[in-house]
Each structure stands twice: as structure tokens, then as C-alpha cells.
Chains A and B, each alone.
Chain A
Amino acid sequence: MEDLENNGQRIDEYLLGHLDQQQQNDFEEDLKSVPNLQDILDERNMLIEGVEAFNRQELRNQLKNIHQKHFDTTSNRPTATRRRLFVRIAAAAAAVLLLITTFLWIYDAPANTADLYSENFQAYDLSLTIRDQIDEQQVRLEMLYSKGEYQAAIPLFEELLTNSKDKSKLRLGAGIAHLELNQTKEALVYFNTIIESNDFLYKDQAEWYAALAHLKRNETNASIRLLKRQAEDPTTDRHEQAKKLLNALK
């Protein structure tokens, strides 16, 4: 296992040009003599190309956003009426904000669990369909879930769970749907199943949403217990968020 890890790191350094000439020569000698090393190199190269393609796509999206922000003349400009409406709304919002700030300043109340929940909850971006494997039910479920139509999504989650291999992902989605419908007990059943299965792909996410479910139930200690592991382990998916929420809860 350790050998695999070391080979992985060495292959990365070779492919990214981080090795000096001698190390590079040694590696190329090993490529001829170590069984399977060439296969591992090819696989890693493919993964790196994929990661690069993904980031180029992100870069392209970023460029499109910059263009839209500075040069897109086709986007709707506010009309005079809409501008007036905007000013009124902004003024009203400022007044409300001032009132809230004054209220908080006078009472200096600690943030309550409901506030912390809404500040921290964001539905997991659940992508169920993969190109060339289009399943009508999955497409429909993905659409309902992304629109926040959780009540309609739950029966579909349950149906798909009976014959899908990708159970943890579906359980996560089902749990989140229940959570948003205030059915925290049902949500926790799904999250805990993922946590107990130790599926490392979704365990961090399940723990995070389980912590939020406990928060919604006003079970602060249970929430803290779940957040601690990720807050202490920087390699987990929700490390930063867990740290912040934990601080807010203490």
C-alpha cells in the first residue's frame, strides 16, 4: 500500500516535471524494470489530463462571467421604474437591517441553532446522471432535487435505492430532502446509514448534514460531536465549514 502511495507521488512528480535529471533517469530505468509501473503511469496521466480539462472548463466559465460583467450589452438593464423600485427596496432593506443590528446590539444574543442551520445549509450538488447512461427516472429525480421539490423527490429516491449500486449518493440526497422538509428523524436514518457504512466518498458529507439535522432538532451536543472529527482533520471535505460552525456553537 505504502509502495503504491510512493509510486503515485513519484509518478506525479515525474509527469509534472518536478524531478531533477538524475531522479528522472532513475524513474525511466524503473519504468523498464518494475512490473505494472508503466500501467500506473498511464492511468495517472489520464487522471491528470481529466483534472486539467476540468480546470480549463472552469477557467472558460470564469472568462464568460468576466465578459458578461464588463461587456455584455444584451443583458437586461434596469428601466427607470425598475430602478426606482430597486431604490425603494434597498431603502426598506437598509431600514430593516438597521433595526436588526440595533436589536442584536442591545441584546447581544448568541446565534440560535435555527439561524446557524440556515446560514450553513446548502443542498449538496447531487449529480445522478452520467453522459451516455441516461436513465429517465434519474433525470427526473435530478430535476426535482435541483428545483427543491423534495416532497416529490423522496418516493423516487426510495424507488431508485432498491436497485441502484450507488446507494450512498442516493441516501445522501434522500436525507437532504427529508432534512429540508423538517423530517429530521428520517433524514438522520439516511445519514447514519452512510456514516456506518464508512463509504469514504460520502461519509464526510453525511456527517456534515447529520450535524445540521441535529442542529435543527436543537441537539447541539450531538451536532458538536459530529463536527469535531472534520474540524480536526484538514483532509476532510467539510473541514473549514465544520471548524467555523463548531466555533459558533461553543
Chain B
Amino acid sequence: MKEGSDEWVLFGLQSPDKVSADTALESLYTNHYPFIKRLIENNNGSDVDAADVFQDAIIVFYEKIRTGQLTLNCSIRTYLYSICKHLWLNKLRDRKDWLNIEQEEVEAIEIPPESFNVLITKERNELIVQLMNEIGPHCKEVLKLYYFKRLRMKEIAETLGLANEQGAKNKKSRCIKKLKALIEASPELKNKLI
């Protein structure tokens, strides 16, 4: 696998190893951002708009990967370009601005509209986001690996150097208990969540 290739990036982004995942993310960003920046700047946008749109696009793209829903029949660049185009057209529409993107360098593919739901955060989620900062770094990591990266318990045990799968299960269960206790400890918060 050639470093920086699409295959390498996809493999790295799904890796349980933090260094590999971070390297792949950085490579994805630096390889494709200049291209997207050009698209946005050529179509009434600024570099700040370009960064916002591109970061949203990576979040949409990453969501597809982590939930196993990505069927990539084109290059990563085309996929990201298609998401960015959709997002940017929506922004232009909101601004009641120019609606056509001209001089396309690649042909965009169809991105299902529900893919963009990931960019909306519900209020109740924002409250849990705040509590997540209180459960400690190790709990944050375990919950991230299990619920966000969707690793199996065995992989989590290996990644965190725990003795076995049961150790990972216990740790996850303890962390969820902690999060629930924090919700319970704040009745006003609890009312908003349930």
C-alpha cells in the first residue's frame, strides 16, 4: 500500500492505533484541502468558508467509514468533492447567492441527503458532550473505541493493553455507569435528557 494512497488512508482511518489513524487523517486533509479551497474560492467563497466546508465534508465521510456504510466506487477526492459541492451549494442558497458551480474539474457523484444529518447536533447530545469531559481520559478512550470507532471488545483489550475481553467489557460497563451517575447527579440535566 502506497503511503498517501486512498487505500492507505482508508486503512489508517479505521486503525485502532491512534498514531496510524492520526497520520491518515492528516494526510487526507493536506492532500485534498487545496483542491477544495480552489473550488470554494472560485465560487464566491473565502478560505474560511473552504475550511468550514471541507471539515464538515470529512466528518460526513468519516461517519460513513466508521459505521461501515461507505461504498466507494470513485476516488476519495471525488467523494469529498461531491460532499463539498452539496454543502457549498446549500450555503450559497441560504445566502441567496449564485447557484451554479462552473468549471468543474471532476464529476460529482450523488450523496444521499441523510448523510448530512451527522452535522446536526441535538440539544440533548450537547449536554452529554459536556458530561463526557468529566468521566476521565481513560473512560473517554474506552467509550470512543467501543461506540465511536466500533471496535470489538477483543480489539479494545489489545489496543489498551488489558488482560482480556472481559477486562474491556468491565471497563466499558464501569465508564457507562459513571456517565449515567453524572446524569443522575444533575436532576435538571436528567429532566432534559429523559
- The chain A residues found within 8 Å of chain B, CB to CB, are 5, 8-9, 12, 16-18, 43, 46-60, 62-64, 66-67, 70-71, 125, 127, 130-133, 165-166, 169, 200-201, 204-205, 234-240
Nearest to B50 among chain A residues (CB) is A71
Of the candidates A16, A17, A63, A133, which one forms a contact with B55 in the assembled complex, judged by CB atoms under 8 Å apart?
A63
**Could you list 26 examples of A-B contacts with CB < 8 Å?**
A5-B173, A9-B169, A43-B194, A46-B128, A46-B193, A48-B147, A50-B125, A51-B179, A52-B148, A53-B121, A53-B122, A55-B148, A57-B121, A59-B62, A67-B33, A130-B127, A130-B189, A200-B177, A200-B178, A201-B182, A204-B136, A234-B161, A234-B167, A234-B171, A237-B136, A237-B139
Q: How far is the CB of A19 from chain B (nearest CB, A)?
A: 12
* New A-B contacts (18) at CB < 8 Å, excluding given A127-B134, A234-B163, A235-B174: A47-B176, A48-B147, A51-B179, A53-B126, A56-B121, A59-B62, A62-B22, A62-B25, A63-B58, A70-B29, A130-B189, A132-B188, A166-B185, A200-B178, A201-B178, A235-B167, A237-B137, A239-B138
Q: What A residues does B182 contact at CB under 8 A?
A: 201
Residues of A within 8 A of B176 (CB): 8, 47
Closest 10 interchain pairs by CB? A50-B128, A53-B125, A55-B148, A237-B136, A54-B132, A235-B171, A63-B55, A54-B129, A51-B147, A66-B29
Instruction: Collect the chain B residues with CB atoms within 8 Å of residue A9's CB.
Output: 169, 173
List chain A residues, Cβ under 8 A from B132: 50-51, 54
- Report the minimal beta-carbon distance from B9 to chain A, rounded to whole angstroms: 13
Tell me, rounded to whole Å, the shortest Cβ–Cβ distance linking A60 to chain B: 6
Alpha-carbon gap, A53 to B133, bound state (A): 12
Contact partners of B152 in chain A: CB under 8 A: 18
| Bound-state Cα–Cα, A130 to B141, Å | 22
Q: How far is the CA of A130 from the CA of B55 in the complex (A)?
A: 27
Judge whether A127 and B160 touch: CB under 8 Å: no
Which residues of B have CB within 8 Å of A57?
A: 121, 129
Residues of B within 8 A of A50 (CB): 124-125, 127-129, 131-132, 179
B136 touching A205, Cβ below 8 Å: yes
Q: Are A70 and B125 in touch, CB under 8 angstroms? A: no
Interface of chain A: mostly helix, strand, loop or mixed: helix
B25-53 interface with A by 8 A CB criterion: 25-26, 29-30, 33, 37, 47, 51
* Closest Cβ–Cβ distance, residue A75 to chain B (whole Å): 13
B73 is an interface residue with CB less than 8 A from chain A = no
Expressed in whole angstroms, the Cα–Cα distance for A52 and B146 within the complex equals 10
Chain B residues close to A by CB (< 8 Å): 22, 25-26, 29-30, 33, 37, 47, 51, 55, 58-59, 62-63, 68, 118, 121-122, 124-134, 136-140, 143-144, 146-148, 150, 152, 160-163, 167, 169-171, 173-174, 176-182, 185-186, 188-189, 192-194
B130 with A127: CB separation less than 8 A = yes
Given the known A-B contacts A9-B173, A205-B136, are A131 and B33 also in contact in the complex, defined by CB atoms under 8 Å?
no
B59 engages A56 (CB within 8 Å): yes
**In the assembly, what is the distance between CA of A247 and CA of B193, in Å?**
43
State the CA gap A70–B55 with chains docked (Å).
Answer: 14
A71 with B185: in contact, given A51-B132, A53-B126, A234-B171 (CB under 8 Å)?
no
User: Contacts A43-B194, A50-B125: A66 and B188 contacting too (C-beta < 8 A)?
Assistant: no
Q: Which residue of B lies closest to A49 (CB)?
A: B125
In the complex the two chains form, what is the Cα distance from A131 to B127 in whole Å? 8
Decide if B129 touches A201 in the complex (CB within 8 Å): no
When C-beta atoms are compared, the residue in chain B nearest to A243 turns out to be B161
Report if A67-B163 is in contact (Cβ < 8 Å); known contacts: A43-B194, A55-B148: no
Bound complex: CA A67 to CA B49 (Å): 13
Residues from chain A with Cβ under 8 Å of B55 in the complex? 60, 63-64, 67
- Residues of B with C-beta under 8 A to A66: 25-26, 29-30
Chain B min CB distance to A84 (Å): 30
**When chains A and B are docked, how far (Å) is the Cα of A55 from the Cα of B128?**
11
Cβ of A5: which chain B residues have Cβ within 8 Å of it?
Answer: 173
Contact, CB under 8 Å: B59 / A59: yes
With A43-B194, A55-B144, A71-B51 known as contacts, the answer to whether A235 contacts B181 (CB < 8 A) is no
